[in-house]
Chain A
Amino acid sequence: MFELIQKLFGRESSSSKDIAKERLRLVLVHDRVNVSPQFMEGLKDDMIKVISNYMDINEKDMEVNLTNTKTSVALVANIPVNRMKRGVYIQE
């Protein structure tokens, strides 16, 4: 009976809390993605350290970006490799 009244007076069938949850999920994705420059620098430095154990890379031309669409976030890195380091090949 109450659902009928709800429909009569225009309450939508998807509850407002579900709308809120979905909006919140998206907005937090965006908020977390809008990170500070220091954050990106720190990330970059750590990546350089780790990758340099395996290969020599061109730090100057290295690009690291967080890209965000409406529904997802991706960390995209373009790292020119000068050469692989010796002795790191994993022997099968």
Chain B
Amino acid sequence: MGEVIVVTSGKGGVGKTTTTANIGTGFALQGKKVVLVDADIGLRNLDVVMGLENRIVYDLIDVTEGNCRLKQALIRDKRYETLYLLPAAQTRDKNAVSPDQMKELCEDLSKDFDYVIIDCPAGIEQGFKNAIAGADRAIVVTTPEVSAVRDADRIIGLLESEGKHNPKLIVNRIRPKMVKKGDMMDIDDIIEILAVDLLGIIPEDEYIVISTNRGEPAVVNPVSTASSAYKNIVRRLTGENVPLMTLETNDGFFDKLKKIFGL
């Protein structure tokens, strides 16, 4: 039986979808059998970030309404053999599916996959409740900004009251230079307030924009710093003890090269 992990945050735009895509691809690169589930009914995005948007025939609602079999809706990503996507519906909304249906769906999926990773929509309403219903554990994504951390705290409280204890935290879009100057909260500040275990930190990386443009998750790129961070997170999720990257003001490889060439 595989593990069902939900990636949530409360606040929108902090990196849930990017994280889901990269962690999922990271697992697939390790040979694990993974299915990514886009639970953002009505505003689907995981398909676009994965570059699979023109392969969609059936979606999650088609499955829960019985219009098709689960296998027909799953899209196999031809680039990474063991990676599949179950896309969200675009013309329905969050009320088109119930938490019980989601639980059943997750149980079915976990029979055939090592990992089921659910991309949770922003907010705390029906979409959130649906997304967490079938999860074994939760990952909370936040950025080092006051509003994101407050929303993460709310979400952690809701997760705990729904029985999803010990959520793990990912702090995304850290800018080491700003942290050094004291213009951005650092990890210790955030952990002190949220009081949950840290799963990983991801530095701000321009390559993320490029990877989304191309529909190729950053984790396959050997040069991007975010890619290394996501790889480490995947290793930690499989039980390895990986020390946190020391984020010095980390000039990217290209910046260093540009400097050498005097550009």
Q: Do A and B come from one complex?
A: yes
Interface residues of A (CB under 8 A from B): 1-2, 5, 9, 16-17, 19-20, 23, 26-27, 30-31, 34-36, 70
* From A9, A16, A35, A70, contact of B210 by CB (8 A): A16
Residue among A19, A35, A36 making CB contact with B213, cutoff 8 Å: A19
| Residues of B close to A26: CB separation below 8 A | 53-54
Given contacts A30-B54, A31-B90, contact A23 B48 (CB under 8 A): yes
How many contacts A-B (CB < 8 Å)?
A: 39
| B64 part of interface (Cβ distance < 8 Å) | no
Chain B residue contacts of A9, Cβ below 8 A: 223, 254
Q: Give residues of chain B (229-263) contacting chain A, Cβ–Cβ below 8 Å.
A: 254, 257-258, 261, 263
B91 touches which one: A1, A16, A34 (CB < 8 A)?
Answer: A34
**B251 CB to nearest A CB, Å:** 15
Report if A20-B254 is in contact (Cβ < 8 Å); known contacts: A34-B91, A36-B91.
no
**In the complex, what's the smallest C-beta–C-beta distance from A34 to chain B, in angstroms?**
5
Indicate if B212 sits at the interface (CB-CB under 8 A).
yes
Q: How far is it, in angstroms, between the C-alpha of A80 and the C-alpha of B210 when the chains are bound?
A: 51
- Decide if B263 touches A2 in the complex (CB within 8 Å): yes
- CB of B240, distance to nearest CB on chain A (Å): 29
Let me know if B215 is at the binding interface, CB within 8 A: yes
| Cβ of B214 under 8 Å from chain A | yes
Q: Are B213 and A20 in contact (CB under 8 A)?
A: yes
Chain B residue nearest in CB terms to A5? B257
Is there an interface contact between B90 and A34, defined as CB atoms closer than 8 Å? yes
Interchain CA distance A16-B213 in the complex, whole Å: 6
Contact present for A1 and B210 (CB under 8 Å): no
Contact between B263 and A23 (Cβ–Cβ < 8 Å)? no
Chain A residues with Cβ below 8 Å from B213 are: 16-17, 19-20, 23
When each residue 49-70 of chain B gets 1 if its CB lies under 8 Å from chain A and 0 otherwise, what string results?
Answer: 0010110000000000000000
B contact face: mostly helix, strand, loop, or mixed: helix
Secondary structure class of chain A's binding surface, majority of residues: helix
Q: Write out the residue numbers on chain A whose beta carbons fall within 8 Å of the beta carbon of B90.
A: 31, 34
Which chain A residue lies CB-closest to B257? A5
The answer to whether A5 touches B261 (Cβ under 8 A) is yes
Contact B261 A1 (CB under 8 A): yes
Q: A16-B209, A23-B48 are in contact. List 7 more A-B contacts (CB 8 A).
A: A1-B261, A2-B258, A2-B263, A16-B213, A19-B214, A26-B54, A27-B48
How does the 8 Å CB contact mask read for B88-127 relative to A, with 1 for contact and 0 for none?
0011000000000000000000000000000000000000
Query: How far, in angstroms, from A52 to B209 measured CA to CA in the complex?
Result: 52
Say whether, besides A2-B258, A23-B48, A70 and B212 are in contact (CB < 8 Å): no
Return chain B residues, CB-CB under 8 Å to A31: 90
- Residues A35 and B263 in contact in the complex (CB < 8 Å), given A5-B257, A20-B213, A23-B48: no
Instruction: Give 1 or 0 for each of B194-216: 1 = CB within 8 Å of chain A CB.
Output: 00000000000000011011110
Task: For the complex, give the distance between the alpha carbons of A58 and B215 in Å.
Answer: 47
Chain B residues whose C-beta falls within 8 Å of the C-beta of A1 in the assembled complex: 261, 263
Tell me the complex Cα distance, A18–B90, Å.
Answer: 25
When C-beta atoms are compared, the residue in chain B nearest to A36 turns out to be B91
